[in-house]
Amino acid sequence: MSSVLNTLILVTLCGSLCWAAEAGIELPHLDFKPIKQLPADIPTCQENDLNINECIKQAFQQITPRMKYGISELNIPALDPYELGKSSYNYNSGLLQGRISMKDVVVHGLSEGIMDKVDFRLKNNRVRMELNSHIPKMFVEGLYKADIKLNDLKLTPKGRFNVTLTDVSMRARPMGELYERDGHTYLRLTKFETEPKVGDLRFYANGLVPDPALNDVILDFINQYWRQLYEAMLPETLATWQPLILKTANDFFAALPFDMIVTKS
C-alpha cells in the first residue's frame, strides 16, 4: 500500500517538476571553428566610414541569399530551409494554459529576408545596434503535441501543423562590448532583444480533435483570433528563445574576429 502511495506521490511531483525541467529547446549541434581569414567574397565595412550603416545594410543584403546553402567559412549553417530540433513551451495566460511541444519543425523563407535599416554605434568599445528587417513570407511546418486547458476542458491534441506568416518584421537591438584576444578584437553581446511582428498568419493542423469537421471549426476560430493567441504566446516563446539566440550569437562572434568584418582604418 505504502509503495503505491509513494509511486503516486512521485508521479504527482514529476507531473509538476519534470514538466518544468523538460521545457526548452534542443537545436541541431553547431560547430564554430575559429576563423583565421575571411573569404574574398565576404563584404566588410570600415569602422570610420561615415556611411557605415549603409555599408552594413548592403553587407547583410549580399549575405542573406547565401543563407540558403550556408557559408561554412563563416560557420553559418544552411538556414533556408532551417531545421529545428525539438522545442517545448509552457503557456500560462488567460487564453491558453498548458504545454506545447514541437518536433521536426522546418522553417522556410529566412533567405528572403530584407534589411531595412541599420543603426550601428561604437563608442569606448561598446557596441549598440538597431537592426530593422522583414521577411515577406515564411512557411513553418512540423509535428506538435499539446497538453492544454481551456477553462475546465482538458485537451491533448497531437498531429501535423503548418503556419504561413506574411510580412514578418523584426526590430533587433543587439548590444555588446569589444575585447582583445590574441591580437584581434572580438565582440561579446550582452543583450539581444527582438520584437517580431506578424502582418498576417494562416494556421493549419490536424489532430486538434478526432472529428475532422470539428477540427475545421477550431481552425477557423484560431485563424480568426490568431493575433490574440500570438500575443498570448509571444512572451513565453521569446523567453525560451532569447537566451539561446544570445548564446548562439556569442559562440558565432567568439570564432569570428570583429575586426575582420568591421575593419579599423
Ligand X SMILES: *[C@@H]1O[C@H](CO)[C@@H](O)[C@H](O)[C@H]1NC(C)=O
Residues that bind ligand X (CB under 6 A): 160, 162, 204, 206
Report the alpha-carbon distance of residue 130 to residue 123 in Å, rounded.
15
Report the nearest approach of ligand X to the CB of residue 167 (Å): 17
Report the nearest approach of ligand X to the CB of residue 218 (Å): 13
Q: Which is nearer to ligand X, 90 or 206 (CB)?
A: 206
Report the nearest approach of ligand X to the CB of residue 109 (Å): 12
Cα-Cα-Cα-Cα dihedral of 251, 99, 106, 42, to 10°? -20
Report the nearest approach of ligand X to the CB of residue 164 (Å): 7
CB atoms within 10 A of CB 260: 17
Report the nearest approach of ligand X to the CB of residue 144 (Å): 12
Q: Which is nearer to ligand X, 162 or 194 (CB)?
A: 162
Q: Which is nearer to ligand X, 204 or 241 (CB)?
A: 204
| Distance (Å) of CA 101 to CA 19, 158, 204 | 11, 9, 16
Report the alpha-carbon distance of residue 136 to residue 55 in Å, rounded.
22
Q: Which is nearer to ligand X, 166 or 206 (CB)?
A: 206
Report the nearest approach of ligand X to the CB of residue 155 (Å): 19
Q: Which is nearer to ligand X, 128 or 137 (CB)?
A: 137
Q: Which is nearer to ligand X, 194 or 206 (CB)?
A: 206
Report the alpha-carbon distance of residue 144 to residue 226 in Å, rounded.
17
**Coil, helix or strand for 208?**
coil
HSE-CB at 223 with a 13 A cutoff on CA atoms is: 15
Closest CA to 146 of 159, 131, 133: 159
Q: Which residue has the cell 529566412?
A: 110
